[in-house]
């Protein structure tokens, strides 16, 4: 028969055991939620790291140095570029060329997008057209022009020029003269593969 105290206040030892049990359940739930969040984070990282790679090459500067004819000190021709087979589902390619060593920050030399999926190469000497017959369009560079602007670094220090090719699952359909920022914003979430080629030039 329960005592008067137990009848009024219940069994203190029973309440203590119940409290421990409840705290254990809550702790288990928190650990479970943390595990789910961790799995989601690792899954997102794995997806980002699983992006395929393109191999980008150029016969125009096979030595890794850019000849003067592709710069402002020469004819300022566009260089030859080629890239490897893209993943299935590729709908277009984009190309961005930058100089991260520029004194004022990364300088944009060339933006090209909506290249047809059948393309695997660009020849030397592309004209400064806003749009080509195959539908590819040229964006604006930081010289304030549409199309390619060759390396033209100040001083004698060597600069590194990064040629990045993107395989995309869509066409960007941006107008002629789009900026690098606009292209980079439009291609977010659509990159199936990418590749880089870095070449050096000093005047």
Which residue, chain included where needed, has tokens 């590819």?
136
Q: Are 24 and 89 contained in the same domain?
A: no
Could you list the residue range(s) of the whole structural domain that residue 27 is in?
A: 4-49
The answer, yes or no, to whether residue 82 has pLDDT greater than 90, is yes
Regarding whether 190 and 125 lie in a shared domain, the answer is: yes
Domain count, the chain: 2
- Do 89 and 105 sit in the same domain of this protein? yes
Rounded CA-CA distance 151/68 in Å is 9
In a shared domain, residues 152 and 167: yes
Q: Rounded mean pLDDT of the chain?
A: 83
pLDDT in tens, 113-161: 999 999 999 999 999 999 999 999 999 999 999 999 999 999 889 999 9
Q: 44 burial class (0-12, 13-18, 19+ CB within 10 angstroms)?
A: exposed
pLDDT at 180 over 90: yes
Residue 162 pLDDT greater than 90, yes or no: yes
Are residues 159 and 180 located together in one domain of the fold?
yes
- CATH at residue 185: 3.90.280.10
- Enumerate helices (H) and strands (E) in the chain, giving the number of each: 3, 9
Do 159 and 104 belong to one domain? Answer: yes
Give the per-residue pLDDT at 50. 57
Q: How many percent of the chain have pLDDT more than 90?
A: 71
Determine the Cα–Cα distance for residues 26 and 15; give it in Å rounded to an integer. 16
Q: How far is CA 44 from the centre of its chain?
A: 15
My answer on whether 100 and 196 are in the same domain is yes
Same-domain check for residues 60 and 132:
yes
What's the first-to-final CA gap in the chain, in angstroms?
100
Whether 78 and 134 share a structural domain: yes
- Pick from 74, 64, 76: which is nearest to 161 by CA? 64
Give the ranges where the chain is alpha helix by DSSP (H): 4-9, 12-49, 180-187
Q: Are 107 and 114 in contact (CB under 8 A)?
A: no
For the stretch 29-73, pLDDT in tens is 434 444 434 434 433 333 444 578 999 999 999 889 999 999 999
Nearest to 169 by CA among 150, 186, 189, 190: 190
């Amino acid at each position: 028969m329960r005592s008067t105290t137990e009848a009024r206040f219940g069994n203190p030892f029973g309440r203590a055991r119940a409290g421990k049990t409840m705290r254990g359940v809550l702790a288990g739930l928190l650990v479970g939620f943390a595990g789910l969040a961790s799995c989601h984070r690792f899954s997102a990282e794995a997806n980002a790291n699983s992006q395929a790679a393109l191999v980008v090459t150029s016969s125009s500067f096979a030595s890794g140095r850019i000849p003067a004819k592709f710069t402002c000190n020469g004819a300022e021709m566009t260089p030859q570029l080629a890239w490897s087979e893209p993943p299935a589902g590729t709908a277009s390619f984009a190309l961005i060329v930058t100089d991260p060593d520029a004194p004022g920050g990364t300088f944009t030399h060339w933006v090209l997008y909506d290249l047809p999926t059948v393309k695997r190469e660009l020849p030397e000497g592309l004209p400064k057209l806003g749009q080509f017959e195959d539908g590819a369009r040229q964006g604006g560079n930081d010289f304030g022009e549409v199309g390619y602007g060759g390396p033209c670094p100040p001083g004698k220090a060597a600069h590194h020029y990064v040629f990045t090719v993107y395989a995309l699952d869509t066409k960007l359909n941006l107008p002629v003269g789009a900026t690098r920022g606009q292209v980079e914003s439009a291609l977010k979430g659509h990159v199936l593969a990418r590749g880089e080629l870095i070449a050096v030039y000093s005047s």
